[in-house]
Structure 1
Amino acid sequence: MADPATYRPKTGEIPTAPGVYRFRDEHGRIIYVGKAKNLRSRLNSYFANPRGLMPKTRAMVHTAAGVEWTVVGTELEALQLEYTWIKEFNPRFNIMFRDDKSYPYLAVTMGEKYPRAQVMRGDRRKDTRYFGPFYPAKAIRETLDTLLRVFPVRTCSSGVFKRAERTGRPCLLGYIDKCAAPCVGRISPEDHRQLAAELCDFMAGEGKRFISSLEKEMQAAVSELDYETAARLRDDISALRKVFERNNVVLSEDTDADIFALEEDELEASAQVFHVRGGRIRGQRGWVVEKVEDNDTADLVEHLIQQVYGEANSTDRIPRQVLVPVLPPNAEELAEWLHGLRGARVDIRVPMRGDKKALMETVARNASDALRLHKSRRAGDITTRSAALQELQEALDLDAAPLRIECYDISHVSGTNVVASMVVAEDGLPKKSDYRKFSITGEAARDDTASMYDVISRRFRNYLAENADPAADPDAPQELPAERLDDGATDVQPLTDTLTPAPRTKFAYPPNLVVVDGGQPQVAAASRALADLGITDVQVVGLAKRLEEVWVPDSDFPVILPRASEALFLLQRIRDEAHRFAITFHRQKRGKSMTASLLDEVPGLGPAKRQALLKHFGSVKKLRAASEEELQQVPGIGPAMAANLRSRLADSSKAEAAPAVNMSTGEILET
């Protein structure tokens, strides 16, 4: 670990203006981004007494190898630039509240001839009515399924709808009365549109009107002794009440707000948000994060608002009000920033009394429960992972615990469609954003050792090329793009003379340990690949599946880990994940190649007809399941061609049942 004193800038070199600062590690990677009203005061706090820092902050300054800064004109510019760089470089030591998914909405496409109800994410579309957001998505799917009993509007895709029109047969929902089946003419376009409009009115808050109307119809049916109709209406009323109670009003119906609450201790913080739209709670979401600096609640609220609403696709879900437990230190700048994103005013405030204050207390109880549950679960996890990494360090005689492990696996069928996978574990947990897939061709595909040599060479050749790239070199002078900052924001004096962060690299940090699925031959191939590239600081081991032996380079005997060893369990989990990832990619590639070669071999089937077939059926699975009559619906496919194609498709289905083989072990894999 680096000594902060080796890269500490001179106090007189650091400006006192507001700005954004960045810490880099020895590989030039951005590991932390922060902003400050006074750069000199903030940066000096990291170096004055490192022992007095928060544990994660202390780890950050010892991991870093350099610091640089950029001066800006205003605090709003600092806020915008800090968020831009956190989003771009994903620094490992920053607090991360961001979601990896957009929020689901119930959407009704009123712009179509036959409006469709569906759960939709992403950008909003014209002539579509949206209700939400909802979280989790399961909640709105259950709600929609219940509403279809009373408002049986179309929910199918365009492909399914057109196929039903051609065949004259509705889908399953049409048979069970959860769709009015406009595709086969059971309802007119006008009546179906009215049905969709009534669904929208119910979701907009007019539930009592519909329930009262159905109750009157039920009473009329009872008075006429039509008990079957009355029973059906009774069930419809029960379904609507269930949905209506689920979306009960908690605030005035003109209230659109996100209500945040936090629960924290010295090391971690739990955040919860309730999404209130039209006075109803439409969804809930929570996060638990580690604290980096000695942040107070106001600072955490600032990070929370900045990252939750900062994503480009989230501007449509910024409400009129953002209710927080305490105001952030730069509330006015945040409100101005949100105003620019939403295109309308956003009010950030603290509720002091009434229903909003009571609802925030409920959100706070959820945050407290989430933090307590997280700590009870995490205690065992941290202990187990730490023990596993410590055991690996001791068993393999490593200089430090292997905080980043990469595992490689190779799969094929009889020497064809050879592929490889790379999976990554950091701190004992999978890091799926760094997973990679490799296709292997030519001489490299002749056997498993050649394939392993090829994959390791390609991965680390890319790593070396990235480090050799001047754009990724933290010591290479660069110019600040004019559009990044205003003209008055050019007073920059970074320690490394670098004005902008380097582009994010493809393979992130180099591993401490490389694990290959196999024994001595695979380990020797991987070690030879690293040696040929001049890499000497990466340890290689192999995990042989038959006896779960750990092989190390240049050794005639394996390392035997106890069967109950946490280190062995960790290696097995990583190896099995690489195995799964390789097989998934192999099957995808094999399926595509078999289908392409199959269609190529059909006499008279040219490129246009092949394209038409795949476009008509949408997937290989549906193409193989198609009958001769369905094949003839594709333009240009006659009876003789359909019969020939059907026969070859049947033969290919049998061939695809052949099992995949793991090259490292010769194991036949279940398909």
Structure 2
Amino acid sequence: MASDLPWRPRAGDIPQQPGVYRFRDATSRVLYVGKARNLRARLSNYFAPLATLHDRTRRMVQTAASVEWTVVGSDFEALQLEYTWIKEFDPPFNVQYKDDKSYPYLTITLGDPVPRVLVTRRRGIPNARYFGPYSRAWAVRDTVDVLLKAFPMRSCSDATYKRAQQTGRPCLLGDIGKCAAPCVGRVTLEEHKSIALDFASFMSGNDRGFVTALTKKMRESSDRQDYESAARYRDQLAAIESVLEKNSVVLSEDVDADLFGIAHDELAAAVQQFIVRGGRIRGVRGWVVDKELDIGLSELVESVLQNAYDDSEPPRTVYVPVLPDDAPELEQWLGERRTPSGRVELRVAQRGEKAALAQTVATNATNALVLYKSRRSADFVARSEALSHIQDALRMDAAPLRMECFDVSHLSGTGIVASMVVFEDGLPRKDQYRKFSIPESTDDTDSIYQVLSRRLAYLGRPESTEDDETAAPKRRKFAYRPQLLIVDGGAPQVAAAQRALDDAGITDIQLCGIAKRLEELWVPGDDFPVILPRNSDALFLIQRIRDEAHRFAISYQRTTRKKGIQSVLAEIPGLGESRVKLLLKQFGSVSKLKQASVEEIVAVKGIGPSLAAAIHERLGESRR
């Protein structure tokens, strides 16, 4: 079974975005390069039962030792990157590219008396402009078909053109507006040559200029009440915008740059580098580093660039997420690594096509960090070592095979809730998560005490037996005894949790708290925290359970917040469900509704002055 392959990634780790994937063998040789509109859906096809796979596919999957992917911003960019990697790696299983054919180009024969646009694999046409190459001829033909609405130039063969000249009737493309029909004299040869030059200019990157010019012409025609011309310009604009949307991250031919994306947290950072040469992505690099110190993004950028160009030459422009504090000095350092020595400029992409590509790079970095964390937590050896290190650091008698973490969430002291998440053998047990509502509390430490008291009460209840019919049914999962309790917070929260343990008479459960600022562990009664190594699997595991408790608490708090305001409003006479929805839609959020005046509430359709006053008064009570 392909599903038994040990290197197969989990379906949840594969993004559902467009991208390009590579299968590698045990020596890291690239076996196959492919593209997909949905990476998860496409890659799942390779892990079907072996008997259902094509012979070559089955052989490739059995030969492979890993698969990796790169997310891109559009299907068109995926085509470009797929082509680049096929040319670079020459993968043996990409048989469709192993013949004598070259890749298709979009070609405009500007040297001909009547220029023609065509898709061809042949190079060397005199005075022709070539755009591409592309890895899928159908994708280029689709682009041409759309652009002919905006630039109606000749695309027919020489035989079709001569036949139209002889008969005096244009072909179908001339009748439907996708050709200006120079064959029958609807436009002069000079006018048609101008259309062809505009087509070539658009493909060269002068796209927004045509959008501006056509928009101006459309408005002028509309002002003159020449609605037929305005409609034609409108259709041309729609065609251009359609192509621009597909090609939003294809850069100009003169762009040579590297774009970096960095995703990081307290313990690790994932880096993605897109190498753009001649306006196309020529390569992708990615790596993950463990952070020894809690450094910011600016310092990370400096470290990443020094590592990336330690033994390689940088391009003229490098795009980064943020400029480092010593950007001028770093630019000088990078410039000395160019041959000959020259200027290197660090930039942050703000808008346009480069910003779109920078966002794609950042998305890949985020996905890489998520995948790194997922794989790290899924490693049985790493989890076992992490539990053993936690046992040693907290001076426990045994490894904490079951850990429970608690976190409190509220909105400015209201809507207080708490969460309990459970990890067993270093993995989450979501079926055993619990949520708590806290009606009243003085502060976070009081909330922690209440939640721990309620949770620990279940541990002291007697076991129910089959013979004891009067005993209450036991909630088995909630009665499991943890070896380690973790609270989100420092010494004050740990002290409150210890009070709950003391009041419950429980002495055999270890307790600790994790403080967010320095990721340090606090143990009851100790004056100083326990410091785990920044790159240790033990700290990674504790951080992960803390983050999961935080996520679970926030999601529950948001749910109760929404239900709470609706229940408060529902108590007001004359305010039904439909009017509650209108109020929330009008103000956009509960906080804005609470801050609204009576006059602003009256402005909502169906809300009168007396009802608005009642709403304002009732929400005022909920604010107190």
TM-score (norm: length of structure 2): 0.36
- Structure scoring higher RCO (CA < 8 A, sep ≥ 6) equals 1
